[in-house]
Amino acid sequence: MQKYLVQRLVQLPVTILFVSIIAFTVIRLLPGDPAMAWLGESFAGDEELYQATRAKLGLDQPWPVQFARWMAQIARGDLGVSARIRLPVSQVILQRIPITLELIVFSMLLAILVGVPAAIISAVRPNSMWDKIGTLGAIGGMALPDFWLGILLIYLFGVALKWLPPSGFTPPTEDLASNLKLMIMPAMTIGLVHSAGIMRQTRAALLDVLGQGYVRTARAKGLAELLVIRRHALRNALLPVVTIIGMQLGRLIGAAVIVETIFAIPGLGRWATDSILFRDYSALQGVILVFALWVLIINLLTDLLYAYLDPRIRLE
């Protein structure tokens, strides 16, 4: 286990470097001029000022030189300055990470609380009415786009019924009740869609385990059905469930970009969208690095948890 962990930690910087190269190249293929975005609408066509701005942003250098400078900045812990809001990128990321993490945690909790019980009901009573309803809901959830569900929830609960505020964000330190109200619809948008995958995978794993001999033996001993499911079936079906939850956690970053934009939540996802529109190279590069690091850490923790839950698995 320790050897495997060391190997993965050694591979981490190499993977980040590979992602950095791709991000750096793709971002610079986007149409638009960051220097013009930096100068803003008040720019009067002063060519000398324009060239000075390009030099200030390092855009007058060849791409390899720009990339080398960026790597040197990262090595010093400096992600540059946002061209849009004129603040250090690392400072803005630290301010916005808690917002995105709150959305991800609420969404994942909702996905688990909906997906796992629905899977248990469907697996215990296969081909029943509840199983058919759960399966139909899971298939619909997997096919449902995040942005469409978000817009539908805004119209239903925010505009028509007026039960919840349609958009915005309030820090929990300022007003916890308002924060929770504003987070309900974004968490539902992500959580309901991702609960479908958890439900399908958990149901399949439970059906496989419930057909095993030791489960039939436990039932023959007279154990209550709830105890059989909790102690014998569900515990042994956790491995594929952990895998799917780990995969969903990695994908939640992509969903957060869309949902934060729809609901005007000032997290990393919303900042990534704004950075693309504004051609804010430094900000977008910093956000992509954070997203890549998130996915790598989640994958590593999933592998370690997988080995912890099943002692037969040896990570080398």
Residues 15 and 128 occupy one common structural domain: no
Q: What is the DSSP secondary structure assignment for residue 88, as one 8-state letter?
A: B
| Residues whose CB is less than 8 angstroms from the CB of residue 275 and which lie 6 or more positions away in sequence, other chains included | 82, 84, 283, 284, 287
Residues 110 and 71 occupy one common structural domain: no
Q: Has residue 130 been placed in a domain? A: yes
| Residues whose CB is less than 8 angstroms from the CB of residue 181 and which lie 6 or more positions away in sequence, other chains included | 164, 165
Domain-terminating residue out of 27, 45, 75 = 75
Residues 258 and 144 sit within 8 Å (Cβ to Cβ):
no
Q: Has residue 275 been placed in a domain? A: yes
Domain-terminating residue out of 75, 106, 135 = 75
Residues 137 and 273 occupy one common structural domain: yes
CATH of the domain at 242: 1.10.3720.10
Domain total for the chain? 2
Distance CA 192, CA 139 (A): 12
pLDDT, residue 214, reads 72
Residues 11 and 103 occupy one common structural domain: no
Which residue range(s) make up the domain with 297? Answer: 90-309
Residues 98 and 168 occupy one common structural domain: yes
Tokens linked to 15: 């993977």
Q: Has residue 33 been placed in a domain? A: yes
Residues 151 and 187 occupy one common structural domain: yes
Q: Enumerate the β-bridge partners of residue 88.
A: 81
Residues 6 and 100 occupy one common structural domain: no
Residues 222 and 102 occupy one common structural domain: yes
Residues of the chain with pLDDT under 70: 1, 40-45, 232, 309-316
pLDDT, residue 106, reads 93
Distance CA 38, CA 27 (A): 16
Q: Has residue 236 been placed in a domain? A: yes
Q: Has residue 237 been placed in a domain? A: yes
Q: Has residue 83 been placed in a domain? A: no
Residues 38 and 7 occupy one common structural domain: yes
**Tens digits of residue pLDDT in 11-64:** 888 888 888 888 888 888 877 777 777 776 666 667 778 788 788 777 788 888
pLDDT, residue 14, reads 87
Residues 61 and 192 occupy one common structural domain: no
| Helix residue spans in the chain (DSSP H) | 2-28, 34-39, 47-57, 63-75, 89-124, 129-143, 146-153, 176-210, 213-220, 225-227, 234-236, 238-262, 268-278, 281-309
Residues 256 and 111 occupy one common structural domain: yes
SS (H, E, C) 218-260: HHHCCCCHHHHHHHHHHHHCHHHHHHHHHHHHHHHHHHHHHHH
Domain-terminating residue out of 75, 103, 125 = 75
The reported pTM is 0.84
pLDDT, residue 33, reads 74
Q: Is 81 helix (H, G, I), strand (E, B) or coil?
A: strand
Residues 58 and 202 occupy one common structural domain: no
- How high does pLDDT run on average in the chain? 83
Q: Has residue 314 been placed in a domain? A: no
Q: Has residue 209 been placed in a domain? A: yes
pLDDT, residue 311, reads 62
Closest CA to 168 of 83, 247, 71, 99: 99
